[in-house]
Structure 1
């Protein structure tokens, strides 16, 4: 089995208007994920707004999450930063605290070349001492990992997995097969993009890196387990039942929607980091209506 497999749930990082992390609310979120028995927790990913937090805030959030998880659920933590030396320090912090792996994106202001990204990732893996998951997130970084670059990085000691974006569901199977052919055995291949993840898991992906699972893990676990046991029909049925949520993710972004879901479900109330603004009352009403359209009992 790959180092990372199954469902990796990505919670928000609750904070107040001034960006101070609400550790009690974060612990509540982590507790829910552990109770649902997710396979790993993706702390401080894009949904966890890592890029808006200082090194000290990230370290404090990770310490709280790891303490709440109690060593029972592996924690993968975002270590991305604009500068290589900062990313190395974040990886070292994560290793010292006990994280299972670091999630590293090609964050940049100046567009990066493939050689620059290769050196960045290789340095963080080597000097950070923490297993690294490649985070291919062109929607925010505007950098896409080519097959050639993935193949090079997969051979670097300490780089153990990749979190791919998804586009068209019908292209996932061929993408997965192509990527399997260029990475070493045991290298974990996973996908984000929740609305296409069911097809990715049915196709044989190792991991679903899920935004929705960070707030509603139970139904996402059902999809993953159905896929893993070969029950594609049940996985697709559950995935299709979530269409109202997927449509909202596409319309407003998954980040904005899950903040509203956390409040509506009385899990926690958190402020988006500025300059991101909260959704309007009209948009929030759409989310309420979407929840009402979901089949009864789907979240249990």
Structure 2
């Protein structure tokens, strides 16, 4: 599907301490992304705090975002939930609001086995009404999709894409080739984990699911466009310019760092939902220094 190609930008979801979404701020964030020219917006992903928001607030966020940019850029909405029936309802909500696709994780409290994950995804694809992208995020769900499971799910009607975590740059080509051979024709293979995604796109991945692009899309767009044009040195040059950001992500998590970046750029002011705490003063200063040193083409000001 053309929805799952290029660069998908995942913004934070502005919300207060009680989990009430600031829809005006969210509208501003998604408008910036649409105006920047991203290929899709990934709403309510991990960067967008989906596990911390109840169904009503997630619906308010989806309604606001789709009202702002619906029809101008595809919106992929996170529909992950602990219960299958709740994930189905969230997918139905996103469909009713006009979302283009759903992003579904193997979110759980008890460890899940492959049979349980298969049935969960098949049910949401069947009853939710949206094309589904598999969200493989073992760092948070503690479940890792095998190539065989992804291949089986790719044959389920309505499951059309996968969002993989990146391995090392050296391992990406073989992982991509193995998965490409196993899944059905036309099934989209994408990656997240910004620090390695330039190499994933160079290797032939269909989509970069990008956390940074939800806040600073220009540099990542430059990488994707350079790859499309066959200018791999330019793609790697831009990736190298972003290395200080990737290092911050690895050290402190993209989630915490991005909450601070949006504040320092005065895009919106929010604290991560408790029990997650804001970064320390020392890390705040590191982030400020990195932002000061980023070239204008990365910040989108040059």
- Scaled by the length of structure 2, what TM-score is found? 0.98
Q: What is the rounded CA distance, in whole Å, between the counterparts of 2:115 and 2:297 in structure 1? A: 49
Question: How far is 1:230 from its partner?
Answer: 1.1
Match of 1:66 in 2: 66
- The CA deviation string for residues 64-98 of structure 1, in whole angstroms up to 9 with x for no partner, is 00011031100000000000000000011111111
- The CA deviation string for residues 212-245 of structure 1, in whole angstroms up to 9 with x for no partner, is 0000011111111111111110000000001110
1:290 and 2:274 aligned:
no
Show the 5 A alignment for 1:1-300. Answer: 2-300=2-300
8 Å Cα contact 1:2-1:187 kept in structure 2: no
Structure 1 unaligned blocks of 5 or more: none
8 Å Cα contact 1:216-1:299 kept in structure 2: yes
Aligned length: 300
Structure 2 unaligned blocks of 5 or more: none
8 Å Cα contact 1:244-1:293 kept in structure 2: no
Q: What is the rounded CA distance, in whole Å, between the counterparts of 1:253 and 1:267 in structure 2? A: 20
Q: What is the rounded CA distance, in whole Å, between the counterparts of 1:293 and 1:218 in structure 2? A: 15
Q: What is the rounded CA distance, in whole Å, between the counterparts of 2:217 and 2:2 in structure 1? A: 21
- Scaled by the length of structure 1, what TM-score is found? 0.98
Helix, strand or coil at the partner of 2:37: coil
The more displaced of 184-193 and 286-295 is 286-295
Q: What is the rounded CA distance, in whole Å, between the counterparts of 2:37 and 2:297 in structure 1? A: 18
Q: Which runs of 4+ in 1 moved over 4 A?
A: none
Q: What is the rounded CA distance, in whole Å, between the counterparts of 1:161 and 1:298 in structure 2? A: 28
CA RMSD of the aligned region, Å? 0.9
The more displaced of 67-76 and 114-123 is 67-76
Q: What is the rounded CA distance, in whole Å, between the counterparts of 2:7 and 2:255 in structure 1? A: 18
Question: How far is 1:295 from its partner?
Answer: 2.6
- The CA deviation string for residues 26-73 of structure 1, in whole angstroms up to 9 with x for no partner, is 011001001101000000000000011111100110000001103110
Question: How far is 1:294 from its partner?
Answer: 2.1
Aligned pair in 2 of structure 1 residues 27, 3: CA closer, same or farther (>3 Å)?
A: closer
8 Å Cα contact 2:70-2:98 kept in structure 1: no
Q: What is the rounded CA distance, in whole Å, between the counterparts of 2:2 and 2:49 in structure 1? A: 27
Question: How far is 1:297 from its partner?
Answer: 3.6
